[in-house]
């Protein structure tokens, strides 16, 4: 259930309602919009109905949330959520570009990639320190040393860092070095990990599982938000279908659907969505046209030498070209790749 407060409700009145909800054993989540505050009451709806809150002069109405995902739904919060990371706002008018190598391989490789993507227009550096691979014989990442290298690149370039966390035991370690913690497709329904991430005060990038429905994806986000961390960024990265010409089938229809169902920002990963660098530019342009708040692209100084996913990685030159193309697409939609002042 949600309790919609009147526009002139004071902080004391909002707290009064929240305390009454807590006293009957309900979870409470506040959503402060531009004009009013909504209090989400998580638990037995019957308890809320029996409290008679609508009799209070500072309560406008009490409504049920019809969706199974409560806190991430548009019913709970009408305005788009916007999270600030570094000097960019994810979810606003600015289109955010996350770029970098699939895996951190060496300081030299990461340094060239970081300075290269920043010069081209990237806002956030991506790179894998822990690499979950299909084969146990494939490169598994530099782990803690990779995290240290990412943090070093942040100091040198000023770019915030996003990297993947694989299990709940590594959350504190990754959070020490990263600005955004990524949950990969294989871990989308690792509920112990999601609950642990719900305790953080850092953004979480939640990738869609390769066979997950949109509702399952949003319910995974609900795990994190219900734990207290509202800073969730959704990432469409392709789903598994019968098609073999691409690594996955990039479901761009999910972008407008997600924007309709939830207030959370959504970005698109065309690198994993297609598996080939040739299709990444076209799918990136299409993602922005569909309403995505940003893209995550794999970029490597020398893709032919990459230890993983070289076939889907752009060169620095091709990434720079893509950034110029995306600026044109964004402008048509009234958005920009540059920082948008509020």
Assign 50 a pLDDT band (cuts: 50, 70, 90): confident
Q: Based on the domain organization, do 182 and 282 belong to the same domain? A: yes
Q: Over the stretch 74-94, which tens digit does the pLDDT of each residue have?
A: 989 989 999 999 889 999 999
- CATH at residue 121: 3.20.20.70
Residue 340 has pLDDT above 60, yes or no: no
Q: Over the stretch 306-339, which tens digit does the pLDDT of each residue have?
A: 999 999 999 999 999 999 999 999 999 999 998 6
Q: Over the stretch 265-319, which tens digit does the pLDDT of each residue have?
A: 999 999 999 999 999 999 999 999 999 999 999 999 999 999 999 999 999 999 9
310 lies in a domain?
Answer: yes
Domain end marker among 19, 35, 63: 63
How crowded is residue 254: how many other Cβ atoms within 10 Å of its Cβ? 22
236 lies in a domain?
Answer: yes
Q: Based on the domain organization, do 195 and 282 belong to the same domain? A: yes
User: What DSSP line would sit under 261-304, residue for residue?
Assistant: HBSS-EEE-HHHHHSSGGGHHHHHHHHHHTT-SEEEEEB-SSGG
Angstrom CA distances, 212 to 54, 243, 296, 315, stand at 39, 17, 19, 31
The alpha carbon of residue 228 and the mean position of all alpha carbons in its chain are separated, in whole angstroms, by 16
Tell me whether strands 124-126 and 161-164 are parallel, antiparallel or unpaired: parallel
- CATH at residue 52: 3.30.70.1140
Assign 341 a pLDDT band (cuts: 50, 70, 90): very low
Q: Based on the domain organization, do 160 and 296 belong to the same domain? A: yes
User: What DSSP line would sit under 177-205, residue for residue?
Assistant: H-SEEEE-GGGTT-HHHHHHHTT-SS-EE
Q: Based on the domain organization, do 126 and 264 belong to the same domain? A: yes
240 lies in a domain?
Answer: yes
Backbone angles phi, psi at 125, to 5 degrees: -90, 125
Q: Based on the domain organization, do 207 and 320 belong to the same domain? A: yes
Calpha distance 220→203 (Å, rounded): 15
Q: Based on the domain organization, do 89 and 125 belong to the same domain? A: yes
SS3 100: strand
Q: Based on the domain organization, do 107 and 189 belong to the same domain? A: yes
Q: Based on the domain organization, do 121 and 161 belong to the same domain? A: yes
Q: Based on the domain organization, do 115 and 191 belong to the same domain? A: yes
Q: Based on the domain organization, do 6 and 115 belong to the same domain? A: no
Q: Based on the domain organization, do 222 and 280 belong to the same domain? A: yes
Q: Based on the domain organization, do 50 and 161 belong to the same domain? A: no
Calpha distance 236→292 (Å, rounded): 9
68 lies in a domain?
Answer: no
Q: Over the stretch 120-129, which tens digit does the pLDDT of each residue have?
A: 999 999 999 9
Domain limits for position 8: 2-63
Would you state the pLDDT for residue 134? 72
Would you state the pLDDT for residue 231? 97
Would you state the pLDDT for residue 342? 41
Kindly provide the residue ranges of all beta strands, DSSP E only, lying in 47-178, ordered along the sequence. 59-63, 83-85, 88-90, 96-100, 124-126, 161-164
Query: In the chain, how many domains are there?
Result: 2
């Amino acid at each position: 259930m949600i309790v919609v407060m009147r526009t002139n409700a004071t902080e004391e009145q909002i707290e009064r309602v929240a305390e009454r909800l807590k006293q009957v054993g309900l979870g409470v989540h506040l959503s402060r919009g531009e004009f009013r505050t909504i209090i989400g009451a998580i638990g037995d709806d019957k308890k809320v109905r029996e409290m008679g809150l609508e009799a209070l002069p500072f309560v406008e109405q009490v409504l049920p949330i019809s969706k199974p995902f409560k806190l991430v739904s548009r019913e709970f919060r009408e305005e788009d959520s916007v999270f600030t990371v570094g000097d960019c706002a994810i979810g606003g008018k600015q289109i955010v570009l996350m770029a970098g190598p699939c895996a951190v391989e060496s300081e030299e490789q990461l340094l060239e990639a970081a300075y290269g993507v920043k010069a081209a227009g990237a806002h956030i550096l991506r790179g894998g320190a822990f690499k979950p691979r299909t084969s146990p014989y494939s490169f598994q990442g530099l782990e803690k040393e990779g995290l240290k290298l990412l943090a070093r690149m942040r100091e040198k370039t000023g770019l915030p860092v996003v990297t993947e966390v694989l299990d709940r035991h590594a959350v504190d370690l990754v959070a020490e070095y990263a600005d955004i913690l990524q949950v990969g497709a294989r871990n989308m329904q690792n509920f112990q990990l999601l609950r642990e991430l719900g305790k953080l005060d850092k953004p979480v990038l939640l990738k869609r599982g390769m066979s997950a429905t949109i509702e399952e994806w949003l319910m995974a986000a609900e795990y994190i938000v219900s734990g207290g961390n509202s800073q969730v960024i959704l990432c469409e990265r392709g789903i598994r279908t019968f098609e073999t010409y691409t690594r996955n089938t990039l479901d761009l229809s999910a972008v407008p659907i997600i924007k309709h169902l939830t207030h959370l920002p959504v970005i698109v990963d065309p690198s994993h969505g297609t598996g080939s660098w040739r299709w990444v530019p076209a799918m990136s342009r299409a993602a922005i046209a569909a309403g995505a708040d940003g893209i995550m692209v794999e970029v490597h100084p020398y893709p032919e030498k990459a230890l993983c996913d070289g076939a889907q990685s752009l060169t620095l030159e091709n990434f720079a070209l893509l950034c110029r193309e995306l600026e044109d697409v964004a402008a048509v939609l009234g958005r920009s790749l540059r920082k948008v002042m509020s």
